[in-house]
Amino acid sequence: MNNSINISLPKQLADTVRAQVKAGHFASVSEVVQQALHKFFVNQPDVPTFKMSKKAEKVAQQALQDYKNGKAIPVASFVELEKQLASK
């Protein structure tokens, strides 16, 4: 069962929504809002994000490149990782 909710949009956004409906991309204004809300709440991964410093980003990019180039050392546990790091 659907529920009705009234919302207010800025004019420019409302005009954009109406234009999408008029162009045939959506059947109604409701469909635009439904799909937008679905994408926002359902399709977004629940992964925290943060801004990295330039230095940290560079280190992470290098680690990713090393992994892609086969330079990764597989470990089965944190204890094994500690042993690998201690031996270097």
- What pTM did the predictor assign? 0.47
Q: Dihedral of CA 14/15/18/23: which sign?
A: negative
Rg (CA), the chain: 24
8 Å CB contact between 26 and 32:
yes
- CA-CA distance, 36 to 9, in Å (whole number)? 14
Q: Encode pLDDT of 2-29 as tens digits.
A: 788 899 999 999 999 999 999 999 999 9
| Residue 50: predicted pLDDT | 76
Q: Encode pLDDT of 33-82 as tens digits.
A: 999 988 888 877 666 777 889 999 899 999 889 989 998 888 888 888 88
| Residue 19: predicted pLDDT | 94
Distances (CA, A) of 27 to 33, 34, 42: 11, 11, 21
